[in-house]
Amino acid sequence: MALCLGKGAVQEVCLPTYRRYGLSALFLALMFGFAAYRHSSFAVWNDSPCVFHPRTCEETGPKWDELSQRFWQAPLTTLGPCLKGCFLSTEGGGYRPLSELWICMAALLFYTPSYLPLPLLLIVGAWLGTLAVVLFYVARRFVRHDLTALGAVLLVLASPPLVGGAWVCVAGVQILVPLLFCLSLLCYWGLVEGRRRVWCAAGLVLLLLLGPWVREFFGLNALLVLFLELRRTRQPTWILAAALLGFLHALFPTALLHFLFLPQLPVQPVYQLGHLSAQMNGGGLRWHAPWHFLPLFPPSLWVCAAVALFMRRRIGQEKEAPPRSDWFGRFEAAVQISAIPLWLAVMLILFILMPLLGPHYHDYLGLMLSLGVAALGMRRDPFLGCWFLLMYLPILRVFTEHVHFLYAMPPAAIIFAQSMESLWLRLRDQPLLFWGRCILTGVLAIIGLDQALNVYGAYKVNHTIYGGVDVVAAWFKRNTPRDAAVVTNVLHGEEIKWHSGNHIEIYWTVTTGIPDLRRAVDRPARLEHLLAQGSVHPVYFLDVDFDYTPDKASYHRHKYVHQADLARRDLGVIHFTHVRYPYADPLRYWVPRRYQPFLGAPDLENDFARKCSIDHPFRHEIYAIYHVYDVTGSRLRRQGGEEEAASPRE
């Protein structure tokens, strides 16, 4: 028995027994599998500065080890100030009090000096398993077979944004955002279909209230509910009112708390709070962002989707309900009919104007290629297209790394899965296209394998990176005096400091992403001030170098090693981080290196080179060379006339 929920959306009411047990097994496998997969002797950036290393300076925040001990002695007196502080904090990425509370509780309950404890990993693993289950149910409403829905789940759970971001389990649990989106959609559908209406209504209202406090991006969920409710009723309802209030609450997330509990909390729109304000005010669209989105799915999947896009009409066994004659129904019908022709027309115009656009042609082409997903979704169900656009377009304004596209992955994966199912059905219904079915079967197997290999790749990349961090930290501990100042060009210099037992102090030649701006020596005057203290704290340069792409070299390469003429003594290369990991899709060989996804901790993407291996087919690789220079010793030699500076102590 099936119930129609709009064009292309079908949901089975009576769930088969095998599905219930299968999804339960999937949940448990992901929960315990993630705990085993993620368990390691290190905490990755940026969990490390948030929780798992004691703060040595009161000005930079509380000492979590002391707070943890105090919490177990007096839970209420410790938790109260933490709770109030989380809801008063408007710094960081934005106003995210519940995310701040999660950091606080993780530190208080599970504090360890250098690794993630098993209970915390099981909690995050349970969220991951829940995401898989709810995403399956959401995808199942738009596709005909369970296997297709599981394919959509695989595309999301093994995507580079998720497998890279999943290594950060405390500072920002990114999977919570797509999880809350999917849960709110299921609550809405359960409510309007009359299944557990009280629970679904309570869940929907609670998500509209709490979701924007987890991540400001969740406020767009209210617009999705508005779309679904307008499609269903075309008239005012209490759900419509709740969605409108939810959107206003997301737009001004501090207003409710300001008027009820915390009058000292400022009432400002969400885009003026925290780092989001700086991102919104810094430049226009990130035109390069669409090219970073395209390789997040296997290139062969894009080719198959292009074939499906040119199919004349959707394949279906049952007759589609005729469009309703009111304005919304006519609007939906017009969108479905015109989505593909309009997209093709824009692509044709773009091709014709290519000589006039010059360099901008490349940027516009990437945007239009990625918007092909929206066109494909609009044709099959306008809701899918709108869902993708709402998740995708805002990222073009704030994009800095691949993990930001995680929010657009669920609707894109469902659109791709639905297209592959449609293409398969078309080939199945044509007896003369037997070889086409065989080829499609092989291509789909390659697509699934290529995406699944991201999980293995992320494991190898992170373990290799932090194995190198241990080696470099041990070298500094053996060969430099305590409290030596190390000037580096990579964020994970702070990880090297922590893995050395705080033996050294780190300073940076960059300012983007560093945990303490007071230790930035991005200007020569600051470096001179640091060198003036060389008699107390010897200064070393740690140059983490590789063949930077032209758009990265001028900022991220160590400027005082490669762009300045400073007297220094070369202590040599102390480590070479290098790892290869496989991919299955042969089309990935032609993905430019600057757009290849980074499978390590997201914030470290500029710390390592990544490209296709030249000598090993079907392999990607990341690498970086760690080179150390003694700056203070060389300066003292030049000033004192000594023939040779003292060698580093062993």
Tell me the pLDDT tens digit for each residue of 328-386: 778 888 888 889 999 999 999 998 888 888 878 888 999 999 999 999 999 889 999 99
Phi, psi torsion values for 641, nearest 5 degrees: 80, 15
Mean pLDDT across the stretch 621-632?
Answer: 94
Mean pLDDT across the stretch 430-437?
Answer: 75
Mean pLDDT across the stretch 587-614?
Answer: 93
Q: Given the structure tokens 């008239």, which residue do they identify? A: 235
Comparing 84 with 295, the larger pLDDT belongs to: 295
Listed in sequence order, the residues at least 6 apart from 445 whose beta carbon sits closer than 8 Å to its beta carbon are none
pLDDT at residue 633, as a whole number: 58
- Segment (H or E) for 290: helix 289-293
Comparing 232 with 66, the larger pLDDT belongs to: 232
Highest mean pLDDT: which range of 397-406, 459-468, 547-556: 459-468
pLDDT at 3 over 70: no
Q: 549 near 594, Cβ under 8 Å?
A: yes
Cα–Cα distance for residue pair 560/531, rounded to 1 Å: 12
pLDDT at 644 over 50: no
CB atoms within 10 A of CB 593: 12
* pLDDT, tens digit, 9 for 90 and up, residues 106-153: 888 887 777 788 999 999 999 999 999 999 999 999 999 999 999 999
Q: 440 near 304, Cβ under 8 Å?
A: yes
> Tell me, what amino acid is at 188?
Y
Q: 226 near 247, Cβ under 8 Å?
A: yes
Supply the DSSP symbol for 535. T
Which one, of 520, 579, 575, lies nearest residue 542 by Cα? 575
pLDDT at residue 14, as a whole number: 47
pLDDT at 213 over 70: yes
> Tell me, what amino acid is at 371?
L
Ramachandran bin of 274, using left for φ above 0, alpha for ψ from -120 to 50, beta for the remaining angles: left
pLDDT at 324 over 70: no
pLDDT at residue 470, as a whole number: 95
Highest mean pLDDT: which range of 263-272, 274-283, 361-370, 469-478: 469-478
Mean pLDDT across the stretch 211-238?
Answer: 92
Q: 377 near 388, Cβ under 8 Å?
A: yes
Q: 402 near 160, Cβ under 8 Å?
A: yes
Cα–Cα distance for residue pair 81/620, rounded to 1 Å: 47
CA distances (Å), origin 165, targets 156, 458, 593? 12, 10, 20
Highest mean pLDDT: which range of 231-235, 278-282, 468-472, 501-505: 468-472
Q: What is the largest CA-CA distance in the chain?
A: 92
pLDDT at 271 over 70: yes
pLDDT at residue 351, as a whole number: 87
Mean pLDDT across the stretch 299-306?
Answer: 94
Q: 257 near 265, Cβ under 8 Å?
A: yes
Mean pLDDT across the stretch 242-266?
Answer: 94
pLDDT at 649 over 70: no
pTM above 0.85? yes
Average pLDDT, the chain: 86
Over pLDDT 70: what percentage of the chain? 88
Cα–Cα distance for residue pair 599/160, rounded to 1 Å: 6
Going 91 to 93 to 98 to 101, the CA torsion angle's sign is negative
pLDDT band for position 314 (50/70/90)? very low
Mean pLDDT across the stretch 615-639?
Answer: 81
pLDDT at 392 over 50: yes
C-alpha 428, offset from chain centre: 37
Listed in sequence order, the residues at least 6 apart from 482 whose beta carbon sits closer than 8 Å to its beta carbon are 503, 504
Range in 178-187, 423-432, 524-533, 576-585 the model is least confident about? 423-432
Cα–Cα distance for residue pair 370/293, rounded to 1 Å: 7
* Terminal-residue alpha carbon distance, the chain: 76
* pLDDT, tens digit, 9 for 90 and up, residues 511-547: 988 888 899 999 999 998 898 887 788 999 999 999 9
SS3 of residue 610 by DSSP: strand
> Alpha-carbon dihedral of residues 295, 296, 299, 305, nearest 10 degrees?
-130
pLDDT band for position 54 (50/70/90)? low
pLDDT at residue 380, as a whole number: 86
Record the tokens describing residue 426, joined without a space. 């078309």
pLDDT at residue 279, as a whole number: 67
pLDDT at residue 9, as a whole number: 42
* pLDDT, tens digit, 9 for 90 and up, residues 161-172: 999 999 999 888
pLDDT at residue 327, as a whole number: 72
Comparing 411 with 424, the larger pLDDT belongs to: 411
Over pLDDT 90: what percentage of the chain? 58
pLDDT at 476 over 70: yes
